[in-house]
Amino acid sequence: MTFVVTENCIKCKFTDCVDVCPVDCFHEGPNFLVIDPDECIDCTLCEPECPAEAIFAEDEVPEGQEIFIQLNADLAKNWPVISEVKDPLPEADDWNGKPNKIDLLEK
Ligand code: SF4
Ligand code: F3S
């Protein structure tokens, strides 16, 4: 099992999640974070930390968001590890909760 970052992280990137991960398995892209499924130890700590409620256990990913399971696995291979909190993206509060952000994902 792994945890998965889903659509509502896009254009928010609050990064509270990375502060609690004991194995540093978050990877950072331009406007989204992903979890490396090969490193996640399923500790559950990150899920309640995300202000955008974007993190789910793999078997609880909401309907329609299943594509993010594969996206996390694929993008984690290319993006660098992030282990320290940074400022959210400038318009994070405005984008929090907006639907259909997947087309805005920058790889
Ligand atoms: Fe890291 Fe635990 Fe979240 Fe997995 S469940 S990404 S190990 S904090
Ligand atoms: Fe993204 Fe939530 Fe982490 S918005 S960066 S998954 S705290």
In a domain, 35, yes or no: yes
> From residue 31, how far is each of 16, 34, 41 by CA, in Å?
14, 10, 24
- CB-side neighbour CA atoms (13 Å) of 48: 3
- How confident is the model at residue 97, as a pLDDT? 98
**62: domain range?**
3-82
Tell me what pLDDT residue 7 has: 98
Question: Would you say the CB of residue 58 lies under 6 angstroms from ligand 2?
Answer: no
Q: Is the pTM of this model over 0.85?
A: yes
Q: Is residue 39 part of a domain?
A: yes
Count up the domains in the chain and report the number. 1
Task: Indicate whether 91 belongs to any domain.
Answer: no
3-state SS, 20-68, equals HCCCCCEEECCCCEEECCCCCCCCCCCHHHCCCCCEEEHHHCCCCCCHH
Domain assignment of residue 73, yes or no: yes
Query: From the CB of 82, is ligand 1 less than 6 Å away?
Result: no
Question: Which residue puts its alpha carbon closest to atom 6 of ligand 1?
Answer: 40
- pLDDT in single tens digits along all 107 residues of the chain: 999 999 999 999 999 999 999 999 999 999 999 999 999 999 999 999 999 999 999 999 999 999 999 999 999 999 999 999 999 999 999 999 999 999 999 99
Q: Which ligand is nearest to the CA of 45?
A: 1
Q: Does 98 reside within a domain?
A: no
CATH number at residue 44: 3.30.70.20
23 within domain boundaries: yes
Ligand 2 in contact with 89 (CB < 6 A)?
no
In a domain, 92, yes or no: no
In this prediction, residue 16 carries a pLDDT of 98
Find where tokens 């945890």 sit.
3
User: Is 105 inside a domain boundary?
Assistant: no
